[in-house]
Amino acid sequence: MELTVLGAGPAYTDRQGATGAAYLVQAGDTSILLDLGQGSFPRLAAAIEPSRLGAVIVSHLHPDHFIDLIPLRHYLVYQFAPPRRVTVLGPAHLAERIDALHAQPGLSADALDTSQLGTRQRQIGEVTVEARLVTHTEESYATRLSLASGAGLVYSGDCGVADDLAPLIRPGDTLLVEASFGPGPVPKGVNHLDGPAIARLVAATRPGAILLTHIQMGFDRQAAVDAVAAATTAPVRLVEPGDRYRV
Ligand SMILES: [Zn+2]
C-alpha cells in the first residue's frame, strides 16, 4: 500500500499550507481516503480523480476531519452529468451534519452514499478495513488498513487514550498517530495524545514505523518526535502534506 499525506493539520494553526486531516491510501486499483478536513479537497483532486475513490472513511465528526466532504459533494454533482457517487463510511448522522450546513435535507445524498462505519471488519477492493472505537467524541474510530499479506497501516483519528489503539496494531505495522500536544502534557480531561503517551504505546506494540500528525500550533515538533523515538528503534517522522510512504 502507498500512503500519501494530503493534509496533516489540527483544528486550526498558523502554519502555511497545514490543511485538515486527509490521508490517501492506494493499493492496486483501490483508493481509500482517511478523513477529509478543511482545505484538503484541492490536494485530493490533484492526487487522484476523486470519483474513483473506493471509500472515504471519516474517523469522527469534528470538522477538521470531514468538512471538505462538502466540496467533494459539490464536485461530484456539478462536474458530472449525471452526478458521480462516492461511498462514505463514518459515525452515525454524518449525512445529517453535512445537510445541516446547507440547511438542505438530502444534500449529501445527491452524491455521497453515507453509512455508519461500525466495528465489523470489511473489504474495500483489495484492502481489509478494521475499525475500533476510541476515546475522543461519542463515536470516534481508529482504523487499520491491510492487504491479504504484509504489514498494515493503523490510523488513530483523534484519540484520548493511547491504549485504545493497541488492539489494532500488529508488530511491523505503520502507525499514523495524532500527537496533538507534541511533547506534552495533555491538559486534564482533554481527549488527545502527546509524545510520552505514544512512546508507551509504541514500546508495548512495536510498530515498524511511526508517523506523527495533527500537532497543534505552539508545540515543539522536534521534541514530539524525540519523545517517541526514545521508546523505539523504528523510524519516527512528523508527516507533511505531499509525503509518501510505502506500507
Ligand atoms: Zn477531534
CATH code at position 156: 3.60.15.10
Comparing CA positions, the residue from 140, 146, 150 lying closest to residue 178 is 140
Helices (H), 26-168: 41-47, 63-66, 69-78, 94-102
Greatest Cα pair distance in the chain: 54
Question: What separation in Å is there between the alpha carbon of 233 and the centre of ligand 1?
Answer: 29
Helices (H), 84-239: 94-102, 195-205, 221-229
Question: What separation in Å is there between the alpha carbon of 20 and the centre of ligand 1?
Answer: 11
Q: Are 61 and 93 in contact (CB under 8 A)?
A: yes
Count up the domains in the chain and report the number: 1
Question: What separation in Å is there between the alpha carbon of 15 and the centre of ligand 1?
Answer: 19
pLDDT, average across residues 35-58: 98
Comparing CA positions, the residue from 88, 68, 53 lying closest to residue 21 is 68
SS3 for 73?
helix
Question: What separation in Å is there between the alpha carbon of 10 and the centre of ligand 1?
Answer: 9
Question: What separation in Å is there between the alpha carbon of 74 and the centre of ligand 1?
Answer: 24
Domain that residue 95 falls in:
2-246
pLDDT, average across residues 75-91: 98
pLDDT, average across residues 94-113: 98
Q: What is the pLDDT of residues 218-236, one digit of tens each?
A: 999 999 999 999 999 999 9
The answer to pTM > 0.95 is yes
The DSSP secondary structure of 200-238, one letter per residue, reads HHHHHH--SEEEEE-PPTTS-HHHHHHHHHTT-SS-EEE
Question: What separation in Å is there between the alpha carbon of 239 and the centre of ligand 1?
Answer: 18
pLDDT, average across residues 89-99: 98
Residue list, CB under 5 A from ion ligand 1: 62, 158
Q: What pLDDT, on the 0 to 100 scale, is given for residue 102?
A: 96
Q: What pLDDT, on the 0 to 100 scale, is given for residue 216?
A: 97
